[in-house]
Structure formats: structure tokens, C-alpha cells
Structure 1
């Protein structure tokens, strides 16, 4: 089966927060140079601290995605990719957990598998559930908008 890629759902408030903070980190050295008439050396020095943070935030923001192959789920975020074997998934449940996760929305699902769990937020949750069930027929609806392995 061909890989299916699901984008992360993005909450508007979180997008404004991340993009706004990134813009602020970019504007700090620009403001220092324009409004404080700082030397180019000082502006470059300040940029060395602010630009990597802005780039990292933007990289994480634009790279969160979830890919399904025939036998694994790949969760990509920033410089990291987590691989989860589909046969190890035991339960998928909706959650509004605020714990740190590769998810850009609070409309999340928790995937519990042998050895751990991960919280994600696919934009097309129904499509994600359907794609998982196609690959793992043992996962059935649990009656609470989730899936559980029989």
C-alpha cells in the first residue's frame, strides 16, 4: 500500500503564538540595528542568538506530519522522526492533553502501543482512523470515538 501522509491540525492561537514569537526573534536584531544605531558587529552577534531560535520554531511548525506505510506510522517533527510498528498499536483514543507532543492542536489523539504512547493531531482524523483500520483490521471502534485492539 502506498504511504499516506496526514498533516497536523493547527490551532489558530498556536499558529499566532509560534509565528509571532518567530517574527519577534527575527525583528530583535533588525530593531537593534535600525533604532539603536548599533554596529553591524553587535547586530550580527545578537542575530547569532535569535535567528537559530526563530528557524527552529519555524522548522518544527512547518514539518509536523504523520505518514502511514503498510507496517509503520512515522511521526515527523523538526529534526526528529519516531517510527511505530502498526502491529504494536493497541489503542487510539481522543484526548485534549496539553502535554508536549508532536501536535499543533489541542484536538488530539493518543496512540498507545507496546512500549509507550504518543499524542498527535491529524487534520483529517476520520481519514487517519480509516487508514489505520485498513492496515490493522484488529483495531475496532470502541464506542468513544476511538479504536481498540480486540
Structure 2
């Protein structure tokens, strides 16, 4: 079993700047809520970034985001892997993505940190995968 972590884009944290700023301001104003909010924001950031991963286990690709198993894909069903910068919602923390096309019409967008190593591992299991990255 091999585990690949998601690449994380720094700008994904931009929507959190205002809540972090407000939390810090509340702390300086002596409000207990500021501490709780800041701890909550940090927890969410760490939780999401540490739990989004892609697992290659024998003949399956398991895509996990937070505590949810998003997909359990048979590696032999993967037809093609392409580079993508799609903004579609996906278990990926970066726009530097791969789209994995499997079965007849299914696809999933992911963003492994080491894309080439990840793809090489899939090709070891299924050498018929067409790669365009």
C-alpha cells in the first residue's frame, strides 16, 4: 500500500484571511470567542490538508478526502490520465491536477504532490493506461 498526499495551493487559504483577522482582533479585544474561532479555523485547515490523500492498494486506487472515501477505483479500469487545471469540485487541494478517466465515462480530479511517481505506480499495475501529462 502506497499513500500519496495532495499538493496544497497556498491561495486556497485566501477565503480564511478575514475570519482569521477577525478572530485575532477579538482576542486583542479580550473576547473568548476569538480564541475558539482561531482554534477552529486552524483545526479545519490542518484536518483538510492532512486527510486528503490517494492510496494505491494492490489493484485499487482509493481516494480519501477528510474522513470520506470518495472513490474506490479498480486500477485495471483506468483508461487515461491527463493533466488538468479544472476548477471543478474535487478531492484535490491544488489546481495542478490530474484527471483520471476510468470505466466508460467516469472521471475524478486529484492533485498528488508527486504526480510522476504516482502515475508510474499506476502504470506498474496497469500498463495499458494512456498518459498525457
**TM-score, length-scaled by structure 1:** 0.70
Aligned equivalents of 1:24, 1:71: Cα separation in 2: 42
1:32 matches 2:26 = yes
Q: Which runs of 5+ in 2 are unaligned?
A: none
Work out which of the residue numbers 47, 63, 68 in structure 2 matches 1:80.
Answer: 68
The offset of 1:68, in angstroms, is 0.4
Aligned equivalents of 2:39, 2:95: Cα separation in 1: 28
The offset of 1:33, in angstroms, is 5.6
CA contact (8 A) 2:76 2:126 kept: yes
The offset of 1:10, in angstroms, is 1.8
Q: Find the residue that maps to 1:94 and give its secondary structure.
A: strand
The offset of 1:24, in angstroms, is 1.0
CA contact (8 A) 2:80 2:130 kept: no
The offset of 1:124, in angstroms, is 0.9
Map of 1:62 onto structure 2: 50
Inter-CA distance 130–33: structure 2 relative to 1 (3 Å threshold):
closer
Map of 2:81 onto structure 1: 92
Q: Find the residue that maps to 2:20 and give its secondary structure.
A: helix
CA contact (8 A) 1:22 1:55 kept: no
Paired residue total: 131
**TM-score, length-scaled by structure 2:** 0.78
Q: Find the residue that maps to 2:54 and give its secondary structure.
A: strand
Q: Which runs of 5+ in 1 are unaligned?
A: 146-150
Map of 2:14 onto structure 1: 17
The offset of 1:133, in angstroms, is 0.4
CA RMSD, 1 decimal: 2.9
Deviations 1:33-55 (A, max 9, x none): 641x55x6xx39x94x7865653
Aligned equivalents of 1:80, 1:107: Cα separation in 2: 22
Map of 1:104 onto structure 2: 93
1:71 matches 2:59 = yes
